[in-house]
Protein backbone atom coordinates (compact mmCIF):
# COMPACT_ATOMS: atom_id res chain seq x y z
CA UNK A 1 0.00 0.00 0.00
CA UNK A 2 1.46 3.36 -0.94
CA UNK A 3 1.54 6.31 1.40
CA UNK A 4 -1.44 8.05 -0.19
CA UNK A 5 -3.62 4.96 0.12
CA UNK A 6 -2.56 4.49 3.73
CA UNK A 7 -3.51 8.10 4.48
CA UNK A 8 -6.92 7.64 2.84
CA UNK A 9 -7.61 4.49 4.85
CA UNK A 10 -6.50 6.18 8.09
CA UNK A 11 -8.70 9.19 7.35
CA UNK A 12 -11.64 6.89 6.60
CA UNK A 13 -11.09 5.02 9.87
CA UNK A 14 -11.01 8.29 11.82
CA UNK A 15 -14.24 9.48 10.24
CA UNK A 16 -15.86 6.12 10.91
CA UNK A 17 -14.82 6.39 14.56
CA UNK A 18 -16.34 9.87 14.78
CA UNK A 19 -19.55 8.60 13.19
CA UNK A 20 -19.74 5.75 15.70
CA UNK A 21 -19.31 8.25 18.56
CA UNK A 22 -22.08 10.47 17.18
CA UNK A 23 -24.41 7.48 16.77
CA UNK A 24 -23.69 6.34 20.33
CA UNK A 25 -24.43 9.85 21.62
CA UNK A 26 -27.68 9.96 19.66
CA UNK A 27 -28.64 6.55 21.04
CA UNK A 28 -28.01 7.80 24.55
CA UNK A 29 -30.21 10.84 23.97
CA UNK A 30 -33.04 8.68 22.63
CA UNK A 31 -32.67 6.36 25.61
CA UNK A 32 -32.88 9.24 28.08
CA UNK A 33 -35.96 10.65 26.33
CA UNK A 34 -37.93 7.41 26.53
- H, E, C per residue of 1-34: CCHHHHHHHHHHHHHHHHHHHHHHHHHHHHHHHC
pLDDT tier at 1, thresholds 50, 70, 90: low
> Is residue 10 scored above 80 in pLDDT?
yes
Q: How far is CA 29 from CA 2, 4, 24, in A?
A: 41, 38, 9
User: What average pLDDT score do residues 13-32 get?
Assistant: 96
Long-range contacts of 10-15 (CB under 8 A, 24+ apart): none
User: What average pLDDT score do residues 7-15 get?
Assistant: 91
**Four-residue CA torsion sign, 14, 17, 22, 25:** negative
Q: What is the pTM of this model?
A: 0.69
pLDDT for the residue 6:
85
Share of the chain above pLDDT 90, in %: 71
pLDDT for the residue 8:
86
Amino acid sequence: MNRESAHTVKSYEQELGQLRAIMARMGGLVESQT
